[in-house]
Structure 1
Amino acid sequence: MELNQYLDIFLEEAKEHLQNLNENLLALETDTQNIDLVNEIFRSAHTLKGMAATMGFEKMASLTHEMENVLDLVRNAKRTVDSNMMDVIFHCVDRLDKMVEMIMSEGHDQVETQDLINQLGAIVTGNKVHNLKGSNLDAPISIEIDEHHKQMLSFDQYEITVLMQSLESNFAIYQIQVILDEESILKSARAFMVFKELENYGEIIKSIPSVEEIENEEFGNDFTIILISKNDQQEIEKAILNISEIQSVQIQNISKDQLVNQSRQEKATNMKKDNEVTSVQNHGQQKKHFSAKTIRVDIERLDELMNLFSELVIDRGRLMQLANEINHVELTDTVEHMSRISSNLQNIILNLRMVPVEQVFNRFPRMVRDLAKELNKKVNLNIIGAETELDRTVIDEIGDPLVHILRNAVDHGLESVEERIKNHKPEAGEITLKAYHSGNYVFIEITDDGRGIHREKVLNKAIEKNLITKEEGNQLTDKQIFNLLFHSGFSTAEKVSDISGRGVGLDVVKNKIETLGGFVSVDSTPGKGTTFIIQLPLTLSIISAMLVQIQREKYAIPLSSIIETAIYKEKDIMYAHKQQVIDFRGHIVPLIPLKQIFAVPDEGIEEEDISVVIVRKGDKMAGLVVDSFIGQQEIVLKSLGSYLPNVFAISGATILGDGQVALIIDTNALIK
């Protein structure tokens, strides 16, 4: 067995334990007397230490071991949790996180830790004892073994012959039962270390379970080895116990008389012997018969599955079109049946790619805690709807925009403790991070109860930067003025700081969200707080779209952007500021002729009526003028590639059932 094959598992498990450490440490900071939390933190550190030692990452193992010493003092009421201790342990978790990143990128954990080890040692100094409960985690633990394990394993006739010859050559035969720590992770790797160690003391004749089963982790917390050796039993026992996360070792000698008796039984009752072997092999492995309810799948495999299904969707569209053209009843029925099955399959595949936003939200409590401490503010972060699911592609991209908004909320949004008391507010500011589904979108709201956005300050800054004129500013609503914050380079910060983003404005957030097919808006009430609302599509792979025709060209408009389609007469068209507009349910909506936008060659096809697709972006609407509607269809998004970058108002392309390529319109780019 090679340890490298366990590296991916180690990294994934390490990240989970680091996340657990962060969450439980945050909880402990507000409830310092909660010993259950201390025990949870201790267990995570202990498991992480064992995993790191097994994989050979000694720096990580040493740091987590020192963390255990401090936590053990708290568990045994020899130290109380204070601010200094929490800060040091939080720094340790950060350093461990850095080690994990180093292992991922460079394959080693050579990050400086001595400063933190010294700080942890300083906490322990004065109350350190030599035999703290749990501090010597590698020491053997003596436990009683049931009668079953005291019995000698069963052997076949060939094995008995080999063992008898070994005894005659003055070798000892040891039956060694190794019981792993219950919290041990990477059990196969731990067993591998035991095997490697025992090979230095003799020859392994047999293992229960088999080597193959141990490699596949098809065993419980114990395994048994038959070793032929000339070394002392105590020497072998000591060597095994030097390996961490070994709970106990039981060694018994197998005598010649025992082998003779078993040889007789083996010959007389071969069937009984087989049953006994099976019984021993299955001991402690009852859970083996229960299948796991979840499995880990490499995300690249899911991407490949989605790509293959995307091609199937294209072929499905082609088959449906051919069936309609041929008009063969049996073919039509078969295609319709296949279409229903593939639609169900599509839903399953899309759901496989959906992951809870909790994966992103989980890192924010720690970030907010550190920012609040740095700014001498008190902040409570409330997370609602963390179970809301999004496509994995979207999840990977939304982290940075949310970080930017949250940092601004803590820095700019919330007042200092003194200012909040003066304004008759609670000392601790409240930030709420909320996610929820609505239609084909996921909405994420970030709300704070801070000072709000100063309307005049934003307006004056916008006029100063020549974004709008003073006359235009007087006609804007509060919400329109607040959305000026998303213009490139716009910032109302009087001085640039690391927290406020070094002058990087919210335009970065806006561009990233719109790249994902969503949009962001902001609303605020002075003195009461601010709310950012992010709207994101559920998935970016397969979407429903309205196919439209402009002259002889076909285009797709995402259905999630469409409010309605309508037919207008020429007499219904009005003009405002030399712009064609229509009256849509009391709203004046500007018209955008797509034939002119995309410079579609005129084929002489003119329609008497004007076909309009009403689309929206936030609270803004526009009417896209097309020649005709083709109908609704599920399409596969394909990138235009690096050879066609930044094509205006085009977000990609799709292949239609007849093999034609239809460009997908980016309605966000058309609405200013």
Structure 2
Amino acid sequence: MELIDFLQVFIDESKEHLQACNEHLIKLEKDPENIAVINEIFRSVHTLKGMAATMEYGDLTNLTHQLENLLDAIRDGRIGVTKAVLDGLFFGVDELDLILQSIITGGNGTRNISDALQRLMELEKNPERTEQKKENGYQYSPNTEPHSIHEIVYDPLEITIIQQAMEQGSRVFEIMITLAQDCLLKAARVALIFHTLEKLGEIIKSVPSFDQLEEEQFDLTFTITFSTKSTSESIYQHLINISEVENAELNSLPIINPNWNQERLDGIVKNPQEVGSLEPFATFTAIPAINKTIRVQIERLDTLMNLFQEFVIHRGRLEQISRELDHPELRESVDGMAVLSSQMQSVLLNMRMLPISTVFNRFPRMIRQLARELNKQISIEIIGAETELERSVVDEIGDSLIHILRNCVDHGIEYPDIRKTLGKPTEGKITLKAFHSGNHVFIEVSDDGGGINREKVIQSAITKGLLAENDEQGLSDQEVYDLLFMSGFSTSSEISNISGRGVGLDVAKYTIESLGGTLTINSQLGRGTVFLIKLPLTLSIQSVLLTKIQSEIYAIPISFIIETVIKKQEEVMSIEGQKSISFRDKTIPLVYLQELLEVPGGAYEEDSLKIVMVQIGNKTIAFVVDSFIGHQEVVLKPLGNYLPPIRGISGAAVLGDGQLALIVDCHTLI
């Protein structure tokens, strides 16, 4: 296989390691003496270096190597984690990300990294860093904590396998294998070792397990229990001839009994000659159990979902036939199929769900950078990052959250001297929280800053011509806050890299509402502001109200509907040429969906109007339809390339009886 065949795997894993570096650097900034965090950063950089070298990306390899040197100097106690060192580490990770981005966009991964290398080398060699480390009380030492000896313990089945192998004339060895220090792809080397041994005999057990070895969740040493009829010399030669295998020690196991585990661990074996050589054993660090995963292209999941929906259509047809024939066995079989398909649908949806941490994890680094640019002190707390959302929602929500967080940093959190005067901690706090409630996910962005000044917002809106001078009378707080979402609105007098152009919150609100969600603001002057986002769990499956217009079926998403009502024709009034109705002491515009969607057919002539009340944000409209069919969950499918974009239609759904229902795009229509 060519290296290009591994490119996507390389990109995916590199993104994960760079994200891990950023997260751990944020932790290191708060706790400079945490050697465990330094080791985690070193491990990610080292793995990235190995992958880059394998893929023959020279600049990426050289830069990660120099980062390794700097991190190694920190681990050895030669330099301390000063502000300059942290800035250098952040800078180096940023350069790695830029190189990776060029690879993602089809580049060859080359970049002028001479300045970055020079900066990292100067940080590593400057002896003043060591003195500063001692003055600040930072004291580091190499990670020399002794590992505990890991004795292999066999379960009853493994003991039986060992005994049977010996009865059939095989010898059983515990083989301690040590890889070279500069081994780049440990998992590939492990696979080659296993492949070699499987030709010579049978592998009974490995410590760590093969899954952990495959995920490189070990240092350089591991142990394999192996039965064979080959000689120990032959096994040794096969192993030592494998590239990057530094050493292999074979220990022959004796005939063991079911109590051998305890005897061995307690050290009370009566006859040392019976047990053979028990030392040395491999040294391991306890590793938590990990989930075994596989990367799957999202297009394959989409294809699988589409095929499943075709299956559902045929299932619906079978259900209809079984009802018509009234055959008990057929009906029983179809009912069982319905249960299984429901379970399959749930599994498929879960496969498309992603934790919102994939979006949240990039924000601590962004907040740190923005705070430094503005000379503010800000921390961020993330709660509920494990909350899951459908992939398409996760992909869209990131930019909106960036706009909201930038608003909190620039407009919400005060400068340290102002906070001190107000009796607040000099460090402001932003909280990013996600949680489930029903079929929705809520994301809450809050800060403990100065809150929203109502009068300042009103005056800014009047100055920019977004509000007439006399219109501010009687505005509620929520209506004033809604002014922040108007295009072109800003309370900043100067344009900066962070804000001032009047774009941001309006874009965030539009994006969130286009996803079927809502964005609201609550604020207390002097105490802070809360942005609350409400989103549907998934865009692929939607709860809809099926309605009929002429002979066609239209589906209106339930998330936009506040109520369905029936009104008499005489209750309709006309205000400045716009038909309207009175609803809960408010005047609501009335629109015939048939006219809006240009559905062919005769005009609506019934005495009673079937009305669907739809609301997005603070806007409400009354849609008139011919009839209500009922509530149903449907799978949203795009119209594809066969049809041009249709105004007011976001997609289609195939119903159980094979009919097609068009999904009404309420956001666009309103």
Say whether residues 1:18 and 2:18 are aligned partners: yes
C-alpha displacement of 1:382? 0.9
Query: Residues 321 and 546 (structure 1 numbering): CA distance in 2 closer, same or farther, change over 3 Å?
Result: farther
Partners of 1:48 and 1:64 within 8 A in 2: yes
Larger mean CA deviation between 405-414 and 42-51 belongs to 42-51
Partners of 1:564 and 1:615 within 8 A in 2: yes
Say whether residues 1:78 and 2:78 are aligned partners: yes
Pairing of 1:196-235 with structure 2 (within 5 A): 207-209=196-198
1:458 equivalent in structure 2: 457
Q: Distance in 1 between matches of 2:99 and 2:552?
A: 54
Partners of 2:441 and 2:536 within 8 A in 1: yes
**RMSD of aligned residue pairs (Cα, Å):** 4.2
Query: Residues 191 and 334 (structure 1 numbering): CA distance in 2 closer, same or farther, change over 3 Å?
Result: closer
Q: Distance in 2 between matches of 1:574 and 1:434?
A: 45
Partners of 1:510 and 1:520 within 8 A in 2: yes
C-alpha displacement of 1:291? 11
- SS state of the match for residue 106, structure 1? coil
Query: Residues 79 and 456 (structure 1 numbering): CA distance in 2 closer, same or farther, change over 3 Å?
Result: same
C-alpha displacement of 1:589? 5.0
C-alpha displacement of 1:591? 3.8
Query: Residues 29 and 543 (structure 1 numbering): CA distance in 2 closer, same or farther, change over 3 Å?
Result: same
Partners of 1:310 and 1:542 within 8 A in 2: no
Query: Residues 599 and 49 (structure 1 numbering): CA distance in 2 closer, same or farther, change over 3 Å?
Result: closer
TM-score, normalised relative to structure 1: 0.75
Pairing of 1:427-446 with structure 2 (within 5 A): 427-446=426-445
For 2:441, give the aligned amino acid: V
Say whether residues 1:387 and 2:386 are aligned partners: yes
Partners of 1:318 and 1:656 within 8 A in 2: no
Partners of 1:650 and 1:664 within 8 A in 2: yes
Partners of 1:314 and 1:635 within 8 A in 2: no
Pairing of 1:226-265 with structure 2 (within 5 A): 246=244, 248-249=246-247
C-alpha displacement of 1:488? 2.4
For 1:248, give the aligned amino acid: E
- 1:435-491 deviations in Å (ceiling 9; x for gaps): 111222212121112222232333333334444433433243221222122222332
Q: Distance in 2 between matches of 1:359 and 1:64?
A: 24
- 1:309-335 deviations in Å (ceiling 9; x for gaps): 233334444555566677766655544
Partners of 2:75 and 2:141 within 8 A in 1: no
- SS state of the match for residue 613, structure 2? strand
1:161 equivalent in structure 2: none
Pairing of 1:78-97 with structure 2 (within 5 A): 78-97=78-97
Say whether residues 1:30 and 2:19 are aligned partners: no
Query: Residues 490 and 335 (structure 1 numbering): CA distance in 2 closer, same or farther, change over 3 Å?
Result: farther
C-alpha displacement of 1:370? 1.0
Partners of 2:76 and 2:142 within 8 A in 1: no
- SS state of the match for residue 208, structure 1? helix
2:41 equivalent in structure 1: 41
C-alpha displacement of 1:529? 2.0
- SS state of the match for residue 611, structure 2? strand
Q: Distance in 2 between matches of 1:372 and 1:73?
A: 29
Partners of 1:54 and 1:190 within 8 A in 2: no
- SS state of the match for residue 294, structure 1? coil
Q: Distance in 2 between matches of 1:192 and 1:295?
A: 17
Query: Residues 541 and 192 (structure 1 numbering): CA distance in 2 closer, same or farther, change over 3 Å?
Result: closer
Query: Residues 606 and 337 (structure 1 numbering): CA distance in 2 closer, same or farther, change over 3 Å?
Result: farther
Pairing of 1:112-127 with structure 2 (within 5 A): 112-125=112-125
C-alpha displacement of 1:338? 2.8
2:536 equivalent in structure 1: 537
Pairing of 1:137-216 with structure 2 (within 5 A): 179-180=178-179, 186-187=185-186, 189=188, 207-209=196-198
Larger mean CA deviation between 343-352 and 493-502 belongs to 493-502
2:608 equivalent in structure 1: 609
Query: Residues 437 and 411 (structure 1 numbering): CA distance in 2 closer, same or farther, change over 3 Å?
Result: same
2:560 equivalent in structure 1: 561
- 1:559-601 deviations in Å (ceiling 9; x for gaps): 22223333344566677776522344x6665543323333444
Q: Distance in 1 between matches of 2:606 and 2:321?
A: 28
Q: Distance in 2 between matches of 1:471 and 1:503?
A: 23
- 1:503-541 deviations in Å (ceiling 9; x for gaps): 534222222223322232323222222222222221111
Q: Distance in 2 between matches of 1:14 and 1:209?
A: 32
Identity %: 48
Partners of 1:551 and 1:605 within 8 A in 2: no
Query: Residues 557 and 120 (structure 1 numbering): CA distance in 2 closer, same or farther, change over 3 Å?
Result: same
Query: Residues 574 and 330 (structure 1 numbering): CA distance in 2 closer, same or farther, change over 3 Å?
Result: farther
For 2:100, give the aligned amino acid: V
1:358 equivalent in structure 2: 357
Q: Distance in 1 between matches of 2:332 and 2:248?
A: 69
Q: Distance in 2 between matches of 1:134 and 1:56?
A: 31
Partners of 1:319 and 1:657 within 8 A in 2: no
Partners of 1:545 and 1:635 within 8 A in 2: yes
Query: Residues 531 and 318 (structure 1 numbering): CA distance in 2 closer, same or farther, change over 3 Å?
Result: farther
Q: Distance in 2 between matches of 1:668 and 1:134?
A: 59
Larger mean CA deviation between 98-107 and 531-540 belongs to 98-107
Query: Residues 106 and 221 (structure 1 numbering): CA distance in 2 closer, same or farther, change over 3 Å?
Result: farther
Structure 1, unpaired ranges of 5+? 136-142, 147-175, 195-205, 227-232, 253-282
Query: Residues 487 and 319 (structure 1 numbering): CA distance in 2 closer, same or farther, change over 3 Å?
Result: farther
2:547 equivalent in structure 1: 548
For 1:97, give the aligned amino acid: D
- SS state of the match for residue 530, structure 2? strand
C-alpha displacement of 1:39? 2.0
For 2:392, give the aligned amino acid: T
Say whether residues 1:597 and 2:596 are aligned partners: yes
- SS state of the match for residue 341, structure 1? helix
Q: Distance in 2 between matches of 1:103 and 1:597?
A: 47
Q: Distance in 2 between matches of 1:329 and 1:596?
A: 47
Q: Distance in 2 between matches of 1:573 and 1:333?
A: 51
1:151 equivalent in structure 2: none
Partners of 2:404 and 2:504 within 8 A in 1: no
Partners of 1:313 and 1:635 within 8 A in 2: no
Partners of 1:496 and 1:503 within 8 A in 2: no
C-alpha displacement of 1:429? 1.0
Q: Distance in 1 between matches of 2:290 and 2:435?
A: 33
For 1:632, give the aligned amino acid: H
Partners of 1:72 and 1:133 within 8 A in 2: no
- 1:179-208 deviations in Å (ceiling 9; x for gaps): 3269967435557999xxxxxxxxxxx943
How many residue pairs get aligned? The number is 575
Query: Residues 60 and 381 (structure 1 numbering): CA distance in 2 closer, same or farther, change over 3 Å?
Result: same
